[in-house]
Chains A and B, each alone.
Chain A
Amino acid sequence: MRILGHALHRILQLSLLLLLLVGHSSSAQSLKQLQTQANKDRDGVARLDPDLFMKHVITEHKDYSVVVQLTALSPVYKCDACKTVDKAFRAVSRGWKKQSSSKDAAQRIVFGTLDMDDGEELFRQMSIEGVPQLVIFPASKGPHAFENPSPRGLTLGAKTSSPEGMASRLGELFGIEIKADVPVNYSKHLMNIATVAAGLYAVFLVYKYVDLRSLGRNIWAICTILFVLLMTSGFMWNRINEPPYVGQTRSGDPVLFAPTNSQQYGIETQIVAATYAVCALCIVALVRHVPRIQNSDQRTFVTFMFTVALILTFSYLNSVFRMKMPGYPFKLLLP
């Protein structure tokens, strides 16, 4: 946010400077240039270079608005955010292209992208530290002029990085409705339908041929227990809050357990589920397996083995809990 603010400031300076340097070309033709540039691209996104940018985007007097995406798409930079944002951006642009061609062409918005590769020094001038960014250069005159035509940034949250989110945000910014054009993913739908059908058929098969009461029972048992283990070890929390899979210390070596008891890492649930499972297993073994053993010495040994296993696992669980919850008074073997 701060970065962006700073950048905007710089952009303003630049634009002023530019006013002094280049006399502004008539907005009509500069719009034309931009649009020709835009039409080169099938998504209607004008690929800008510093020259275009300077001339036609950062001009005070223009009766069209430009939405510029500052990004670094080339794989060199390994910027995943850029890719997602770019995807959304292009979807929105496509949508706008459709829309403007059909009805409301009066409001003139041009979508442009400025890539690190094309405008590196420009980036430096504007002292942009973070990509991707979305900057809007609103029209300063004409029917759709903004009262405050200074360029403004669009914070790219989780929501605004999705095509719909970005479209709606831009829409309310320009006070019109912008629809993103998201390509319908038929294969996905087909897949879903197929899976559902397959699932139903599988259920049917199971029901028809497998004897649920003997073999089936074990399968069911395993599934159920796994499910319950997942649920009781905070799986849903992960699904909703999407924490990192593993934590990291400053020095960068992994941390398995989040220090507070209101947080948890992805791996944490798995470990915990495992410990639960082991404990349960010991119980089951003690009850079902041990008495079956004929040889009494062997039986004694196995009994001890499982008991010890149980104690150790539980105390491990306990110590982890102590770590997560300082001041928990009880401990078992392990600190």
Chain B
Amino acid sequence: MANKVLGLTAVDQTSLLRIAILGLISIVAIGSRLYSVIRFESVIHEFDPWFNYRTTRYLVNNGFDKFWNWFDETAWYPLGRVVGGTVYPGIMVTSATIYNALHMLNIPVDVRNVCVFLAPVFSAFTAIATYKLGKEVKNATAGLLAAAFIGVAPGYISRSVAGSYDNEGIAIFLLVFTFFLWLRSVRLGSAMYGALTAVFYFYMVSAWGGYVFIINLIPLHVFALLVMGRYSNRLYVAYSTFYVIGTLASMQIPFVGFQPTFTSEHMAALGTFGLLQLVAFANFVRTLLPDQHFQILLRGAVFSLFVVGVGGLVLLTMTGVIAPWTGRFYSLWDTGYAKIHIPIIASVSEHQPTAWPNFFFDLNMLIWLLPAGIYFSFRELTDNHVFLILYSIFAAYFAGVMVRLILTLTPIVCVMAGISMANIFETFLNVRNLPAVETDASTDTTGSGAAAISVSVAEAKEKKKTVDTQSTSSGLSAHTEAGSGSKKSGKKAKGSNKTASKASGTTGSKDAANEDASTLDAPLTAVTTSAAAAVRKPASKNQPPNPAMPAFSPKRLYALFPKIVVMANFLYFLCMFQWHCSWVTSSAYSSPSVVLASRSPDGSTHIIDDFREAYYWLRKNTKPDAKVLSWWDYGYQLAGMADRVTLVDNNTWNNTHIATVGKILASDENTAYELARRHDVDYVLVVFGGMIGYSGDDINKFLWMIRIAQGVYPDDVKESDFFNSQGQYAIGESASKTMLNSLMHKLCYYRFNEVMGPQAFDRVRKQKLPSSVTLDNFEEAYTTENWMVRIYKVKDLDNLGRSHRAVSVLEGPKTSRTMF
């Protein structure tokens, strides 16, 4: 047939193209996350990933049952850590499954590589999920654009580059997909989709603590719809199914346990569930009551219930019946809270509030496409759009409070941007019947053309069906009913188009083609127009040619010109966006802080591998059960790379223990020695950047250690003591007495001036060094190439019960055993 290309109808062509585009997007998404692997190697990044990697290995080697009951004696010595019960197992299970599947197919791949490449692969899935979401809320155009955006948006890449093997890697995909399923289940009111939502919610719960966002946002959506008087049986079915199954499922994760029944984070969901039941009941009652009476009854009831509910929640929380909000969550609401109360949270850089450059850095032009998107969503306010708007509001707020939460903002930004862009494209890429732009415009108000055209039809069709729902639900649900109906009829239209195009020349084929074309996606308009033209040619036989139609008349060109300009402009913006993203990714988000790279003047990169050097030394030269004390940042890496016992690690569950470590590092040698002996510490590891100017070292983190220690031992550690008489936090000569005597200071600068010479100064602090640092109770065991990691051995008690000071006085200066 004329309109067939390669024997495919326009519809098939579009779907083919769609798939192709999605495929390409996925490839780009994966590709742009591989910088770190190419630059360095396939290595696990940073800190938390090392724990996930270690547990994954354990899972792969020992099976799920062992993993589930795993009690890790080597962490948090001597308290130990119930790993099975304090971890979100989603990511480990996922990669273990992939690993086993691959091995079942005789593809011998290493666990490490599975872990390294998990996040990029899931980012591809995220792109697809985002496409579905976009398609759900607007149309395939928006979907594809959104997918393209999230594929490369730095805000998401920051947590999902190859090697950053962290929960967020898969969680974002789950987040988006759960929301997509939720929206669909609300639109279709199908229990099946509700259940699916619950299933993916469960997956999300098992994967990331951020699930709280879902379990608060969805109830909020429901509540908003109720308040807007948009109750419908579809909503009822969707939410009831989701909440019941989802909650029961989520309680299967040991770490979550019974929280959904008593913690405040989950109360909103519970309350909304109850409320929904009431409203449903109310609607049932309404069918038995005269309307006007009922209106008052309902509104009053809803509000009073809401007030009572909130009041009750507050009351219970105050009386402590409901567990108080957890600290991290608190710091989201009461923004000052963390700074004052929880240094352990405030100390983490990614818990700081977000300055605007961060937003622009992570989202570039999307950030100003967001408001436009919100506006468009407000134009056509279906249930879905209500959700999008709520999502944007809350995500924006949280992202503003905590840098790391830009992550949750990114998907909605991408979707919104997709919507705005789609609107632009549909307006300006639409080169059909130019004089009739107005009709397009008018149709734009109610969303994609098809919807508008077929609303009437739909209404007609839906009349019978909507009668009862209209009686149950308030007027607006009718519109959405129509919307959903319209989709159906849209499909019908396509169907009819097929038949029509077969029997070409029949009347009605034209508007069929129009319908068809307008339901297709903007990027494919070229195709569609060709298709439309193809359909139109035969049609134009028995109809007078449209005056605007003749191809490439100057008039047409003139009319086209502005569109071309606008499109060119936006295309350029898109290119810039792409450049920006790849630049940000390569420059900011692709270094595995385990291995560092420094660029020497002649431009050649010089790899600094001190961390792994040190960990490897420990692995090879110390007893397998040696206890290594370090600040908690390095706990996971120690466990993962050095395979030694650690006192504290990045899972900061026991503030007291961390404070103890802080106290050890902050107090003078003898106190520290006693404490260290008490905790059976064999080695002390400090990270020191003064030699090569690595600013993220322990001396710079020291203030936080002191604060955390002070929080628990206010009598023994005082922050003010560490500031010198000028009231500044200094090292070396100008430092305060306490600072000079503190173990941290001694361990960092011990024998430093021997290598740096007499007028040595610290390359990070840019300050003069202490002339001489004596060390009695600890002896230097190893110092890495660039002095970045220094390991000290805790001396044994003296055989004759003398103080180490006396011994070293007797024996005179010891020749140290460090190797350079």
Interface residues of A (CB under 8 A from B): 1-2, 5, 155, 204, 207-208, 212-213, 217-218, 220-221, 224-225, 227-237, 239-241, 261-264, 268-269, 272, 275-277, 279-280, 283-284, 286-288, 290-292, 294, 296, 299-300, 303-304, 307, 310-311, 314, 317, 321, 324-325, 329-330, 332
B535 within 8 A of A: no
B730 within 8 A of A: no
Known A-B contacts A213-B381, A237-B354, A303-B562; the reply to A283 vs B372 at CB < 8 A is: yes
Instruction: Name the 6 nearest CB pairs between A and B, nearest first.
Output: A291-B441, A1-B727, A234-B356, A236-B400, A280-B371, A279-B368
A276 touches B573 (CB 8 A): no
A231 touches B396 (CB 8 A): yes
CB-based nearest A residue for B561: A300
> Bound complex: CA of A217 vs CA of B476, how far in Å?
13
> Bound complex: CA of A261 vs CA of B362, how far in Å?
13
- Interface range for B: 35 or more
A284 touches B372 (CB 8 A): yes
A225 touches B374 (CB 8 A): yes
Known: A220-B378, A236-B353. 6 other contacts (CB 8 A): A2-B726, A224-B392, A229-B371, A236-B354, A237-B355, A290-B427
Which residues of A have CB within 8 Å of B569? 307, 310-311
> Bound complex: CA of A208 vs CA of B296, how far in Å?
10
A299 touches B361 (CB 8 A): no
Looking at B250-258, B576-584, B745-753, the stretch in contact with chain A turns out to be B576-584
B393 touches A224 (CB 8 A): yes
> Bound complex: CA of A262 vs CA of B361, how far in Å?
11
Which residues of B have CB within 8 Å of A240? 335-336, 339, 353, 401
Which residues of A have CB within 8 Å of B658? none
> Bound complex: CA of A300 vs CA of B95, how far in Å?
55
What are 23 A-B residue pairs whose CB atoms fall within 8 Å in the complex? Answer: A1-B723, A204-B303, A221-B375, A224-B374, A228-B371, A230-B400, A231-B396, A231-B397, A233-B356, A233-B359, A237-B400, A239-B335, A241-B353, A269-B356, A277-B371, A279-B365, A284-B372, A288-B379, A291-B438, A291-B441, A304-B565, A330-B576, A330-B583
A225 touches B375 (CB 8 A): yes
A228 touches B438 (CB 8 A): no
State the majority secondary structure of interface residues on A.
Answer: helix
Which residues of A have CB within 8 Å of B361? 261, 321, 325
CB-based nearest B residue for A258: B355
> Bound complex: CA of A258 vs CA of B761, how far in Å?
30
Which residues of B have CB within 8 Å of A204? 303
Which residues of A have CB within 8 Å of B420? 283, 287
> Bound complex: CA of A298 vs CA of B303, how far in Å?
50
Which residues of B have CB within 8 Å of A307? 565-566, 569
Which residues of A have CB within 8 Å of B357? 234, 261-262, 264, 321, 324-325
Task: Kindly name the residue among A207, A229, A276, A324 whose own CB sees the greatest number of chain B CB atoms within 10 A.
Answer: A276
Known A-B contacts A2-B727, A5-B725, A234-B354; the reply to A287 vs B400 at CB < 8 A is: no
Known A-B contacts A217-B381, A227-B393; the reply to A234 vs B355 at CB < 8 A is: yes
Which residues of A have CB within 8 Å of B389? 224
B440 within 8 A of A: yes
B360 touches A321 (CB 8 A): yes
Task: Kindly name the residue among B353, B424, B723 whose own CB sees the greatest number of chain A CB atoms within 10 A.
Answer: B353
Task: Kindly name the residue among B389, B559, B562 whose own CB sees the greatest number of chain A CB atoms within 10 A.
Answer: B562
Which residues of B have CB within 8 Å of A268? 356
Which residues of B have CB within 8 Å of A221? 374-375, 378
B559 touches A296 (CB 8 A): yes
> Bound complex: CA of A213 vs CA of B423, how far in Å?
22
B444 within 8 A of A: yes
B299 within 8 A of A: yes
Which residues of B have CB within 8 Å of A321? 357, 360-361
Which residues of B have CB within 8 Å of A286? 424, 427-428, 566
B227 within 8 A of A: yes
Which residues of A have CB within 8 Å of B371? 225, 228-229, 276-277, 280
Given B228, B423, B441, B565, which contacts A292 in the complex, CB threshold below 8 Å?
B441
With both chains docked as a complex, state the minimum distance between the C-beta of A285 and any C-beta of chain B, in angstroms. Answer: 10
B725 touches A264 (CB 8 A): no
Which residues of B have CB within 8 Å of A287? 376, 420, 423-424, 427, 444
Given B355, B368, B381, which contacts A262 in the complex, CB threshold below 8 Å?
B355
Which residues of B have CB within 8 Å of A276? 367-368, 371
CB-based nearest A residue for B714: A172
Which residues of B have CB within 8 Å of A230? 400
Known A-B contacts A283-B420, A284-B372, A307-B566; the reply to A264 vs B400 at CB < 8 A is: no
B370 within 8 A of A: yes
Which residues of B have CB within 8 Å of A234? 353-359, 400
> Bound complex: CA of A324 vs CA of B359, how far in Å?
13
With both chains docked as a complex, state the minimum distance between the C-beta of A274 and any C-beta of chain B, in angstroms. Answer: 11
Known A-B contacts A237-B353, A275-B368, A291-B437; the reply to A208 vs B299 at CB < 8 A is: yes
CB-based nearest B residue for A264: B355
> Bound complex: CA of A263 vs CA of B356, how far in Å?
9
B681 within 8 A of A: no
CB-based nearest A residue for B727: A1
With both chains docked as a complex, state the minimum distance between the C-beta of A316 and any C-beta of chain B, in angstroms. Answer: 12
Residues of chain B in range 544-600 having any CB-CB distance to chain A below 8 Å: 559, 561-563, 565-566, 569, 573, 576, 579-580, 583
B396 touches A280 (CB 8 A): no
B369 within 8 A of A: yes
With both chains docked as a complex, state the minimum distance between the C-beta of B117 and any C-beta of chain A, in angstroms. Answer: 28
With both chains docked as a complex, state the minimum distance between the C-beta of B755 and any C-beta of chain A, in angstroms. Answer: 33
> Bound complex: CA of A330 vs CA of B576, how far in Å?
8
B129 within 8 A of A: no
B355 touches A231 (CB 8 A): no
> Bound complex: CA of A284 vs CA of B335, how far in Å?
34
> Bound complex: CA of A142 vs CA of B359, how far in Å?
62
B399 within 8 A of A: yes
CB-based nearest B residue for A325: B357
A228 touches B356 (CB 8 A): no
Q: Mark B417-444, 1 if CB is under 8 A from A, else 0.
A: 0001001100110000000011011001
A228 touches B375 (CB 8 A): no
Which residues of A have CB within 8 Å of B441? 288, 291-292
B573 touches A314 (CB 8 A): yes
Which residues of A have CB within 8 Å of B580? 330
CB-based nearest B residue for A294: B438
CB-based nearest A residue for B566: A307
Task: Kindly name the residue among B339, B357, B396, B563 whose own CB sees the greatest number of chain A CB atoms within 10 A.
Answer: B357
> Bound complex: CA of A31 vs CA of B359, how far in Å?
62
B227 touches A280 (CB 8 A): no
Q: Mark B46-58, 1 if CB is under 8 A from A, else 0.
A: 0000000000000
A280 touches B562 (CB 8 A): no
With both chains docked as a complex, state the minimum distance between the C-beta of A269 and any C-beta of chain B, in angstroms. Answer: 6
CB-based nearest B residue for A321: B360
> Bound complex: CA of A23 vs CA of B33, how far in Å?
81
Which residues of B have CB within 8 Å of A332? 576
Which residues of B have CB within 8 Å of A294? 438
With both chains docked as a complex, state the minimum distance between the C-beta of A190 and any C-beta of chain B, in angstroms. Answer: 20
CB-based nearest B residue for A275: B368
Given B356, B372, B559, which contacts A232 in the complex, CB threshold below 8 Å?
B356
Residues of chain B in range 375-392 having any CB-CB distance to chain A below 8 Å: 375-376, 378-379, 381, 389, 392
Task: Kindly name the residue among B392, B396, B428, B565 whose own CB sees the greatest number of chain A CB atoms within 10 A.
Answer: B396
B727 touches A155 (CB 8 A): yes
> Bound complex: CA of A322 vs CA of B598, how far in Å?
24
Residues of chain B in range 231-290 having any CB-CB distance to chain A below 8 Å: none
With both chains docked as a complex, state the minimum distance between the C-beta of B407 and any C-beta of chain A, in angstroms. Answer: 14
> Bound complex: CA of A241 vs CA of B352, how far in Å?
10
Which residues of B have CB within 8 Å of A280? 368-372, 375
With both chains docked as a complex, state the minimum distance between the C-beta of B443 and any C-beta of chain A, in angstroms. Answer: 10
B565 touches A263 (CB 8 A): no
With both chains docked as a complex, state the minimum distance between the C-beta of A327 and any C-beta of chain B, in angstroms. Answer: 8
Which residues of A have CB within 8 Å of B476? 213
> Bound complex: CA of A229 vs CA of B397, how far in Å?
10
With both chains docked as a complex, state the minimum distance between the C-beta of B363 and any C-beta of chain A, in angstroms. Answer: 8
